[in-house]
Amino acid sequence: MSAVAANDAAIVALGSGAGAQWSSTNGTEWATSSGFGAADSPQLAVARPTGFVAVGTSGGFPVAWASSNGRAWHRHVPPLDWKAQSGGVFGLAVGRGVIVAIGWSEAGVCTEGGSATNPCRSRSEAWWSSDGASWHLAEGLGMLPGGVEGLTATDEGFVASGFASVGRSAFRHSADGRRWSRVAGATLRGAVLDLTYFEGRYVATLNSRSGANTVIETSNLTAWTTITSTPFRDIAISLALVTSFVPVAGGVDAVVCSETACDILQSSDRHAWSVLSLDPLIRMLNLLGLTEFHGRLEVAANDSSGTGGVLSLESSAP
């Protein structure tokens, strides 16, 4: 399993390979979705009132899929502005009637230290679409040395995070997903991961060069503060990673995993967080993301063998 998404009519669960995608209208009875091949690997999904959009890779290149009902999907290939040899997608968001995806493409030898005769060449990419089927290259994302790492929709458009230089993160903003510009004065030491916007503020995980993780927030992308509530103090100590922040009714949830266990944290104000009580066997699963469907939390999960499924959990109000 890699992603779950839901609208009022249905919930979808996506995994890699043919036959690893499902949909449900009640969260209990599931049917296999069509339109995916053996080489397809959807990684992220968003829901809209009119259907669903997913992005990922197929054959080593960025690909998008769209569906009106979650059952039948159609494959679409975003354009690249150069002759790349591979690529991927790191972020997906929807807002103001526009779907935006960000990722990267590369050519040359980009593994095992690269190659003197065929060096690695990479660039950041951004695409936008009004329907999930017709995709267009965006302008101005820029050549970020470490690529783009995160994307979120805001009240004023979209914000993407990535590296401005080795070990330092920067941000780019777009009002419409089509044209991007650098956010002046907004840089941080470390990698900004899992960037999410919620009720006028940004929440993110900051991974330092030493490997320590902290959870930070801001209203303007320049003045960040560390969230120091008990669960996140424990995260910094255990070097766990916040894998996703998800706005839900009445607050925001976070999936947090260490090397030994996963937890779901809930908050109504981003400051005070509580840990959702989970069965110890559930905490041993790899929880990858969650969504809210008909008042319950639906969580994508994999076990140690790679077998995936969706957990349906009661959500206690934060």
What CATH number is attached to the domain comprising 240? 2.130.10.10
Say if 294 falls within a structural domain: no
Say if 287 falls within a structural domain: no
User: How many beta carbons lie within 10 A of that of residue 318, not counting itself?
Assistant: 17
Say if 211 falls within a structural domain: yes
Low-confidence residues of the chain, pLDDT below 50?
145, 237-239, 317-318
Domain holding 38, by residue range, is 3-247
Say if 275 falls within a structural domain: no
Say if 148 falls within a structural domain: yes
CB 16 within 8 A of CB 300: no
How confident is the model over 234-273, as pLDDT tens digits?
A: 655 444 555 667 777 777 788 877 777 888 888 887 677 7
pLDDT of residue 238: 47
pLDDT of residue 317: 47
Say if 49 falls within a structural domain: yes
Q: Report the domain count for the chain.
A: 1
pLDDT of residue 36: 95
CB 266 within 8 A of CB 251: yes
pLDDT of residue 147: 62
The model's pTM is 0.88
pLDDT of residue 138: 93
The order of strands in the sheet holding 181-189 is 148-154, 157-165, 168-174, 181-189
Say if 199 falls within a structural domain: yes
CB 117 within 8 A of CB 94: no
CA-closest candidate to residue 89, choices 197, 187, 3, 183: 3
Say if 89 falls within a structural domain: yes
State how far the Cα of 215 lies from the Cα of 203, in Å rounded to an integer. 7
